[in-house]
Amino acid sequence: MEDEHGTMYRLTASVSEGGQGKVCFTESPGVLIKVSRLPPTNAHSARWFDQVQHVKRLPLEGLKVARPQAMIVRPHHGYVMELMDGLEPLQHLLDAPLQKGMLGFLETGGLSRRLRLLAGLAGTLAELHGRGLAYGDLSPANVFVSRSIEHSEVWLIDCDNISVLSEACIQSIYTPDYGAPEVVQGVSGIDSLTDAWSFAVIAYQLLRLQHPLKGDLVVDGDEEEEQRALRGELPWIDDLADDCNRASSGIPRDSVISKRLNELFQQCFGPGRTAPLERPSMQQWRAALDFALHMLVQCNDCGSMFYFNRDWQCSFCDHVEAAERHLLLRHCLLAPDLKDEPGIGEDYLLRTGFHQVLNGTAVQLRSSPPGTVTYAHCDPWCSLSLTDDALCIDPVRGMKVFLQNGSSASLRQLKRREVIPVKHKREHYALHLGDDERRHVWLFQW
Question: What would you report as the CA-atom Rg of the chain, rounded to the nearest whole angstrom?
Answer: 25
The highest-confidence range among 72-81, 196-205, 315-324, by mean pLDDT, is 196-205
Q: CA 232 → CA 236, 239, 275, distances in Å?
A: 8, 12, 10
Dihedral (CA of 308, 312, 318, 321) sign: positive
| Range with the poorest average pLDDT among 77-81, 163-167, 218-222 | 163-167
pLDDT at 328: 95
- The CATH number corresponding to 87-210+250-293 among 1.10.510.10, 3.20.20.70, 1.10.10.10, 2.30.38.10 equals 1.10.510.10
User: Looking at the domain that runs over 322-445, which CATH code has it been given?
Assistant: 2.60.200
Whole-angstrom distance, CA of residue 79 vs CA of residue 36: 9
Residues 407-430 have a mean pLDDT of 90
Q: What beta strand segments (E) does 275-379 contain?
A: 296-298, 305-307, 327-334, 349-358, 363-366
Whole-angstrom distance, CA of residue 231 vs CA of residue 225: 10
The average confidence (pLDDT) of the chain is 92
Q: Is 166's pLDDT higher than 80?
A: no
DSSP state of 167: S
Whole-angstrom distance, CA of residue 156 vs CA of residue 138: 9
Whole-angstrom distance, CA of residue 44 vs CA of residue 48: 6
**Cα 420 → chain centroid:** 34
DSSP characters for 184-198?
A: HTTS----HHHHHHH
More confident residue, 100 or 343: 100
> Which residues have C-beta within 8 Å of that of residue 397, sequence separation ≥ 6?
none
Whole-angstrom distance, CA of residue 417 vs CA of residue 422: 16
Q: Are the beta carbons of 167 and 108 closer than 8 angstroms?
A: no
> Which residues have C-beta within 8 Å of that of residue 267, sequence separation ≥ 6?
278, 279, 280
Q: Is 391's pLDDT higher than 80?
A: yes
Burial label, 378 (beta-carbon count in 10 A; 0-12, 13-18, 19+) = middle
| Range with the poorest average pLDDT among 330-334, 372-376, 403-407 | 403-407
pLDDT at 168: 53
Query: Model's pTM, two decimal places?
Result: 0.92
What are the domain boundaries of the chain?
2-82, 87-210+250-293, 322-445
Position 37 confidence tier, pLDDT thresholds 50, 70, 90: confident
Q: Are the beta carbons of 267 and 275 closer than 8 angstroms?
A: no
- Which of 156, 165, 212 shows the shortest CA–CA distance to 189? 165
pLDDT at 342: 73
Position 64 confidence tier, pLDDT thresholds 50, 70, 90: very high
Position 348 confidence tier, pLDDT thresholds 50, 70, 90: confident
Please provide the size of the chain in residues: 446
Reported as type and span, the H/E element at residue 293 is helix 282-293
Residues 26-40 have a mean pLDDT of 89
pLDDT at 96: 83
Q: Are the beta carbons of 247 and 210 closer than 8 angstroms?
A: yes
Residues 379-395 have a mean pLDDT of 94
Residues 308-318 have a mean pLDDT of 93
Helix (H, G, I), strand (E, B) or coil at 263: helix
Q: Is 254's pLDDT higher than 70?
A: yes
pLDDT at 169: 61
Tens digits of residue pLDDT in 174-191: 999 999 999 999 999 899
Position 16 confidence tier, pLDDT thresholds 50, 70, 90: confident
Reported as type and span, the H/E element at residue 72 is strand 68-74
Q: Is 386's pLDDT higher than 90?
A: yes
User: Looking at the domain that runs over 2-82, which CATH code has it been given?
Assistant: 3.30.200.20
pLDDT at 171: 67
Q: Is 266's pLDDT higher than 90?
A: yes
Whole-angstrom distance, CA of residue 115 vs CA of residue 111: 6
Helix (H, G, I), strand (E, B) or coil at 69: strand
Q: Are the beta carbons of 311 and 323 closer than 8 angstroms?
A: no
Q: Is 170's pLDDT higher than 70?
A: no
More confident residue, 135 or 423: 135
Q: Is 421's pLDDT higher than 90?
A: yes
What is the dihedral angle through the alpha carbons of 292, 205, 17, 146, rounded to the nearest 10 degrees?
40
Position 341 confidence tier, pLDDT thresholds 50, 70, 90: confident
